[in-house]
């Protein structure tokens, strides 16, 4: 009886079937991932106000006694604000994708007093060119590398609230941060599709092999 059992689940043909099935699934997964990535290149740009720090207390008594000024200008409601832009797609954002060479406009709904700092990560990547116009910060058309992060520190006068206006073509522009929006990244989308392919292929393999395995199992049980 032991020898009969060994004939089906310890035989070389059984393991050849298993290994062959796994290789088929692996090749299918790689093919699906490569095809999806090639057919659906995506540019995605996240924007967010990550910091809003009021410099004067809300209390009227404090406001009447303290004055914050910048280069001789008194500020009645100064805030330190940090804006973040993240190019999080699978492709770079190119100059040509700014339709009619229009800038990417970030409106903070408060007068921009000064741009205090601009950082780009990785540091080797070029920082964007920014212009201040009233309550808006205008980013000129330029190349944004994939995974590039840009942080802009501002001093504003008034309660800030961020809105954007843009003319980017074939760019998915979203408010928030890549990890804080609940939006699946490009790799997550690929993983979802691959999971569906694996499940489908696995089901087909199951249908193909179930009859063989059950037949061998019943044959083995018949000899017990």
On the question of pLDDT at 17 being above 50, the answer is yes
Q: What is the pLDDT of residue 86?
A: 96
**Segment of 14-18, 194-198, 211-215 carrying the highest mean pLDDT:** 194-198
User: Both 100 and 166 in a single domain?
Assistant: yes
If asked whether residues 57 and 122 sit together in one domain, one would say yes
* pLDDT in the model for residue 204: 58
Q: How many CB atoms lie within 10 A of CB 129?
A: 12
Pseudo-torsion of CA 93, 98, 102, 104, nearest 10°?
-30
Determine the pLDDT at residue 118. 96
Residues 137 and 192 in one domain: no
The answer to whether the beta carbons of residues 75 and 68 sit under 8 Å apart is yes
> Are 122 and 166 in the same domain?
yes
**Count of Cβ atoms closer than 10 Å to residue 210 Cβ:** 10
**Are 86 and 192 contained in the same domain?**
no
- Number of domains into which the chain is organized: 2
Are 25 and 66 in the same domain?
A: no
In angstroms, the Cα distances linking 104 to 5, 66, 138, 166 are 70, 36, 6, 5
Query: Alpha-carbon distance 153 to 84, whole Å?
Result: 9
161-207 confidence digits (pLDDT tens): 999 999 999 999 999 988 744 444 455 555 556 666 665 665 555 55
Provide mean pLDDT across the span 64-71: 80
CATH classification of the domain holding 167: 2.60.40
Residue 89 pLDDT grade (very low, low, confident, very high; cuts 50, 70, 90) = confident
Residue 70 belongs to what domain range? Answer: 43-179
Q: What percent of the chain is modeled with pLDDT above 90?
A: 47
Mean pLDDT of 86-112: 94
Asked if pLDDT for residue 221 goes beyond 70, the answer is: no
Residues 103 and 52 both lie in one domain = yes
pLDDT in tens, 91-102: 999 999 999 999
pLDDT per position as a tens digit, 116-130: 999 999 999 999 999
Q: Where residue 73 falls among pLDDT bands split at 50, 70, 90?
A: confident
Same-domain status, 48 and 150: yes
**pTM listed for this prediction:** 0.64
Are 23 and 92 found together in one domain? no
Q: Is 161 found in the same domain as 53?
A: yes
Q: Do 25 and 109 fall within a single domain?
A: no
**Same domain assignment for residues 17 and 90:** no
| Chain mean pLDDT for the chain | 78
pLDDT for res 69: 86
């Amino acid at each position: 009886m032991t020898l009969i059992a060994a004939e089906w689940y310890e035989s070389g043909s059984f393991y050849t079937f298993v290994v062959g099935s796994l290789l088929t699934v692996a090749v299918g997964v790689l093919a699906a991932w490569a095809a999806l990535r090639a057919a659906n290149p995506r540019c995605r740009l996240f924007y967010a106000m990550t910091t809003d720090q009021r410099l004067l207390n809300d209390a009227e008594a404090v406001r009447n006694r303290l004055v914050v000024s910048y280069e001789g200008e008194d500020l009645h409601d100064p805030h330190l604000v940090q804006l973040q832009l993240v190019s999080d797609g699978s492709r770079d954002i190119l100059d040509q994708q700014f339709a009619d060479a229009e800038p990417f406009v970030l409106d903070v709904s408060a007068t921009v007093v000064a741009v205090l700092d601009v950082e780009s990560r990785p540091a080797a990547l070029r920082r964007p060119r920014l212009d201040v116009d009233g309550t808006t910060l205008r980013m000129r058309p330029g190349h944004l590398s994939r995974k590039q992060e840009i942080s802009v520190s501002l001093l504003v006068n008034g309660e800030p609230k961020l809105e954007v206006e843009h003319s980017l073509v074939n760019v998915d522009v979203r408010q928030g941060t890549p990890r804080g929006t609940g939006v699946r990244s490009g790799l997550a989308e690929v993983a979802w599709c691959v999971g569906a392919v694996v499940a489908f292929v696995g089901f087909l393999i199951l249908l193909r092999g179930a009859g063989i395995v059950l037949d061998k199992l019943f044959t083995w049980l018949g000899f017990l």
